[in-house]
Amino acid sequence: MTDDGCLAGKRALVTGAASGIGLAVARRLVAAGCEVTMTDISPIDVAELIGPHPGQREVRNLAGSARACQADLADRESIAELVRCAGQVDVLVNNAGLQHVSPIEAFPDDRWDLLLSVMITAPFLLTRAVLPGMYQAGWGRIINISSVHGLVASPFKSAYVTAKHALLGLTKVVALETAARSPAVTAHAICPSYVRTPLVEAQISDQARAHGIDEAEVLERVMLAPNAIRKLIEPTEVADAVAFLCRPAAWTMSGSALTLDAGWLAH
């Protein structure tokens, strides 16, 4: 999908938009003409983030625009305020996430609760809030950024894997319900393997220290070992998938998982 204003007049809400996938998605949707509400637990300087970047068009000169609404997705009152701030939402991108690595027997209760609150309860609450407006408008997209870990498991990531699997289940239920109410309102999940985000880069550094090897070896021998193509996915490539799912033909994929796994599941 080219940046041709094809989403002009549409309004999007993107969570986890201060960096990584969420920021790339926000930029992509603005470039396509969308009005985007960016939210994160961290403050967002829209003027700094949605602007000229190397290799990118100056998106502020296009039809779309962006604004920020800071929110804590682990807090229901904060989510309710975010819904009020965002107003009508035509495209909801549930992207916010975090990680905690621990054996199950040592996994802290508070981290379990936090990960599931942010990565499955918040997407449910936001979906529930925006669906009535989508039904009334006769068009909408619920796009959940799951993970290859929504399809397969890895040890020591029980909360993350559980939440990402649950997000796929929620996607399917939403797809069935929206199909009965308004076929132009669709639900999708995107399942990438490791993406070059601050979250993943921190994991690379941690693994390098833990294993006593350099970061290139961590990528090759540890993190990207399951991939057929051993390279990190770029956030802009996930954003391209989001943009594709906003196209009219994407109704054919409602309820499906779009897998960007670099061949992980081909083995």
Do residue 99 and residue 226 come from a single domain? Answer: no
pTM above 0.75? Answer: yes
Q: What is the mean pLDDT of residues 92-111?
A: 96
The confidence band for 220, taking pLDDT boundaries of 50, 70 and 90, is confident
Tokens of 10: 């549409």
pLDDT at 60: 45
Predicted confidence (pLDDT) at residue 11 exceeds the cutoff of 70:
yes
Note whether residue 219 is domain-resident: yes
The residue that leads in pLDDT, 1 or 239, is 239
Do residue 146 and residue 209 come from a single domain? Answer: no
pLDDT at 219: 87
Do residue 123 and residue 217 come from a single domain? Answer: no
pLDDT at 218: 83
Indicate the SS3 state at residue 179: helix
Do residue 25 and residue 83 come from a single domain? Answer: yes
Do residue 97 and residue 213 come from a single domain? Answer: no
Do residue 126 and residue 210 come from a single domain? Answer: no
Do residue 200 and residue 91 come from a single domain? Answer: no
Predicted confidence (pLDDT) at residue 61 exceeds the cutoff of 90:
no
Do residue 222 and residue 239 come from a single domain? Answer: no
CATH code assigned at 166: 3.40.50.720
pLDDT at 5: 63
Tell me how many domains the chain contains: 2
pLDDT at 56: 44
Note whether residue 261 is domain-resident: no
pLDDT at 88: 98
Do residue 117 and residue 223 come from a single domain? Answer: no
The answer to whether 45 and 124 have CB atoms below 8 angstroms apart is no
What's the pLDDT tens digit per position in 156-185? 999 999 999 999 999 999 999 999 999 999
Tokens of 218: 């961590």
The residue that leads in pLDDT, 241 or 207, is 241
Note whether residue 2 is domain-resident: no
Tokens of 101: 């690595």
Note whether residue 267 is domain-resident: no
The confidence band for 4, taking pLDDT boundaries of 50, 70 and 90, is low
Note whether residue 58 is domain-resident: yes
- Clarify whether 160 is annotated catalytic: yes
Of 134-138, 182-186, 208-212, the poorest mean pLDDT is in 208-212
Of 160, 163, 233, 243, which is the active-site residue? 160
* DSSP per position, 52-89: --TTS--GGGSS-EEEE----TT-HHHHHHHHHHH-S-
Q: pLDDT > 90: what percent of the chain?
A: 81
pLDDT at 52: 54
Q: What is the mean pLDDT of residues 36-61?
A: 74
Do residue 60 and residue 187 come from a single domain? Answer: yes
Note whether residue 262 is domain-resident: no
**Dihedrals phi, psi of 99, to nearest 5 degrees:** -135, 150
The confidence band for 239, taking pLDDT boundaries of 50, 70 and 90, is very high
The answer to whether 48 and 18 have CB atoms below 8 angstroms apart is no
pLDDT at 196: 94
pLDDT at 222: 83
Residue 221 structural domain: 196-232
For CA atoms 118, 160, 92, 185, give the dihedral sign.
negative
Do residue 214 and residue 138 come from a single domain? Answer: no
Q: What is the mean pLDDT of residues 25-54?
A: 89
Q: Kindly report the average pLDDT of the chain as a whole number.
A: 92
Do residue 172 and residue 218 come from a single domain? Answer: no
Q: How far is it, in rounded angstroms, from Cα 13 to Cα 36?
A: 6
Predicted confidence (pLDDT) at residue 55 exceeds the cutoff of 60:
no
pLDDT at 2: 44
